[in-house]
Structure formats: structure tokens, C-alpha cells
Amino acid sequence: MDDVKVQIPVSELRYYMQELKTEILNNLEAEISCTIERTIHKLERHNKPKVDNAHEKCSRLEKDELPEKRFFLRDSVLTDLWKVTHLSSAYNICVAMMLLLYFNTVLLYTVDTQRLEDDMAIINWAAGKRSVVILLWLGMKMSTTCVVYFLFKHWALLRPKKLIFGLLDYIFALTYLVYQIIFFIIPVMILIYYKLPPISSFAILAEQVRLSMKTHAFVRENIPRAVQFKLHQDNDEKDPRPYPCFANYLYFLFAPTLVYRDVYPRTFCIRWNYVAWNFLQFLTCIFTSCIAFHRFVVDIFQHVGHKPFTPVDFVLTLSGAMAVGSLAMFLVFYGFLHCWLNAFAELLCFGDRVFYQDWWNCTSFSKYYRTWNSVVYDWLYSYIYKDFYQVLGRSSAMVIVFLVSAIVHEYILALTFRFLYPVLFILFSSFGVLVVFLTRRRTSSGWNVFLWMSLFMGWGFLIMLYSMEWYARANNCPSYVHPYLDYIVPRSWSCSVFKIHSYQRIIDS
């Protein structure tokens, strides 16, 4: 058999080899620089050399300055773990359990066709008014794409040419603040006017928050660039331009990261089978969550307001809610943080795919918060924690980060369900902060058990309390006359949800 000869144009081959060389050198240079800096800092702290006042001041500033977020070419943790034979068996066990759940569901729907129609009707209603959702999403996306970039671009170009650039800075800051306020108000008004159902509302609100975080990241990262930009003395702009090119900004809007950089590590090809497999796994997680909520949430809580709960029912319901909450936690993590983000990273050739870390091994909640969702944590660290750390210190900056995270989560849930029931806010702002200090510097395996117990109980309470309040309102439990008071005071408190008089009769007898 003749040898098969593959002909590749020399120019194309040279281009790809040069790209590969540049990528390898950049990553290698970044790793070497980090290693050298850490080694030098260790030696300086060990030897403590005598320096003059200027050098001492510079060293103090460098010590107070927190490190920047760095991007490298690397895979997700589970992508590497699934390559290990023993750990891939755990994945196969989960797939087997999921297939059995699907088989049981298909069998149930085959026997009871009316249940299938009812469940499909619920899903169709919860994700309804899709045309409004699509148009609203397009409007938000176009606003973020065009308005923000061109507003920043014109400010950056006008700033070095005007003597009154101080006033121009205030005008830009005010305009940007007004834009952010309008960007939050108008979608909420449309969402309420069209009475979007829960899933549609959640999708719009989550996308609204994501785009707002992207906008702030872009502006926050490029303001120093525009401020430090100066024209050459002979009016020849030899310095780089004071704003990034539009292609970089557009790529950032779709990239699976919330921290802006002009350039990210990139892969060289798209594995379409990998993209399809991750999207398929994501849809599987969606279907599994729908089955779990129909079987364990709708069936249990739909009688709230009609049939009182006894204390025994409450305990049993909490146990079932913890099981559903635990399943929801795993599905959210694997479906979104692994499958969804990896699929988009592959489509965009985005190289740094550490969207989470090994949070399941954590023994402290501070490390858990840093590793559960690295995408959001990097944004909070880069644009909230670092800014307040310089002014207020470490503890105050950490508390502010928790408050911001709790407020945003509660904002999404309150508008999704159309009532304010701040269970998540309380868990974040009180228990969440407390356990950070309680588990700090804990390393024994017992604290890992405590972390898992806390997660299961937290998700269980969220599922149970929000479901009880939802069905208390759906079943027309007594409402308050004032609409604002009815929005913030839970109806499940005024409804005869809990039944304790039967136990009182037993005690009296």
C-alpha cells in the first residue's frame, strides 16, 4: 500500500506553529515569574535586609497589594478526574442511577397518561412566554454590547484632549451609574408587566445580573488604562490606545468568565463531539431536576393551605426536602458549572476552564466559598473584595462580599417567585459568615463532614420553606390588605399550615 501523503501549506503550518510557540512561552513565562516572585518574597521575609525608606515604602505597598487573577491553559477538575479509572466508575454509577430514574418515570407516565399531561402543562407554564424572554434578552444584550463600549470609548478618547477632564470624569461616572440603574429597572418592569412565570423570570434575572457584572468588569479594568493614557508631545499617538478593541470586548461578553482581559489563553480547535456531549449532559440534568421536583416537591407541597402539617409531617417533609435539595445542589453544580461552561469554553476556544475547584474536599467554609463557583468568586474578589480591602481591611471587605452576594441572590429569588422570603439572605449574611470564622484553619476530616451536613440541611430548608410559601400563595391563603405588606410578609405564617391541637388533645386526655 502506498503511503498516504498529507499536504499542508507551509504558510498555514508556520502560522499554527508560531501560535503554539507563543502560547507555550506565555504560559511558561507566567509560571516562572510567579515562582521567582514567591521565592524572592520568602527570602526577603527570612533574611529581613535593611533597606532605605523609599525601598521600605515600596515593599510595604507591594505587600498590601493583593494578587491579580491569572488565566492559564488548563482543564476542569472533573475533566481530569474522569480520566482516572476508579473515579470514572463513580460517574458510571451516577449514570446508571439516572437511567433507572428515567425508566421508572417512563413507566409511571405509561400507566398514568393524565399525570404526564399535568406535568407537561406545569413545565410549559413555568417556562412560558418565550417570545417575550427572547426579545428582552436581545434588548439587554444589544444594550450591553453597544451602549457600554461606545460610551467608554468616547470618554477615553475625549479625556486626554480636554483640559476639563475632571468634569468629564464625573459626567462619565454619572452616566454609567444611570445606565446601570436603568439596566436593572426596565427589564424588571417588563418582567412584571407581562407576568413572566418562574423559569422565564429566573432566566432573565440571571442574565441581567451576569451582563451587569460583565459591564462592571470591563469598565473597572479599563479605567486605569484610560486615565494613564497620554498623547505624545508632538501629538503623535505612539502610546497604545486608551480603550480595547471591540472584538476583545465582544469575545468577553460570551466568554465563560466575569473577569476582563484583552487576551485569554486559547485552544487551537473545537471538539464538536465534546460540545455536543456536554450540552446533552446539561439537558439531562435539567430533565432530572424536573422529575425530582415533580415527584418530591409538587406532590408534597401542593396541599399547603388545604391540609395542615403535623409536627411529624414537618420532620418527614424536611427529610424529603434535604434529599431533593442535595440532588438539586449536585445537578446545579455539574449541569451548569461543569457541562454548560465547558461547552461554551470549547465553542469559544477558551483555555482556562477552572470554573470550580475541589470544593468537595474542603474542611472550612471560607475555602468552600472560594472553590464552589470560581467564576463568581473571581469577580467578587477582583472588583469587590480588593477595592474594599484597601480601604476597610480584610474582615470588613469579606463581610461586604457576603452582603453583596446575599442581596443579589435574594433579588433574583424575590422577583422570580414574586414574594420576599429572605431565607437565603439570612443564611448567607448570618450563618454563612459565622461558619467562616468557626471553620477557619480547620483541617480534620470531621469538619468536612460538618460542611456536608450544613450543605444538605441548608439546601433542604431552602427547598421546604420556599415551596411552602409558594403553595400557600397559590392556594389563596389569607393575604394582607396592603400590597407591599403582602409582598414582604410570608402568607405561610398566617395560614393554618401546622396542626398541633391534635397533640394537645392527647396530652389533655
Given a contact cutoff of 8 angstroms between Cβ atoms, the answer to whether 375 and 213 are in contact is: no
| DSSP-assigned states of every residue in 494-506 | HS--B--HHHHHH
Q: 309 by DSSP, 3-state: which?
A: strand
CA dist list (Å): 44 to 50, 60, 207, 469: 10, 12, 46, 58
Stated length of the chain: 509
Q: Report the first-to-last Cα separation within the chain, whole angstroms.
A: 97
Output the CA–CA distances (angstroms, integers) from residue 487 to 307, 466, 469, 470, 484, in the order listed: 23, 14, 11, 12, 5
- Among 306, 409, 482, 501, which one carries the catalytic annotation? 409
Q: In Å, how far are 127, 213, 406, 422 from 412, measured between CA atoms?
A: 16, 14, 10, 11
Cross-strand bridge partners of residue 309? 498
| Distance in angstroms (rounded) separating the CA atoms of residues 48 and 413 | 52
Give the DSSP letter string of 14-27. HHHHHHHHHHHHHH
Tell me the three cell numbers of residue 199. Answer: 423559569
CA distance 509 to 499: 18
Grid cell locating 36: 521567582
State the CB neighbour count (10 A cutoff) for residue 59.
13
The grid coordinates of residue 493 equal 405564617
Active site residue 46: no
Q: How far is CA 83 from the centre of its chain?
A: 26
Radius of gyration of the chain from its Cα atoms, rounded to whole angstroms: 27
Give backbone dihedrals phi and psi of 275, rounded to 5 degrees, phi first: -65, -50
Alpha-carbon distance of 243 to 298, in angstroms, equals 52
Name beta bridge partners: 352.
Answer: 74
Catalytic residues: 409
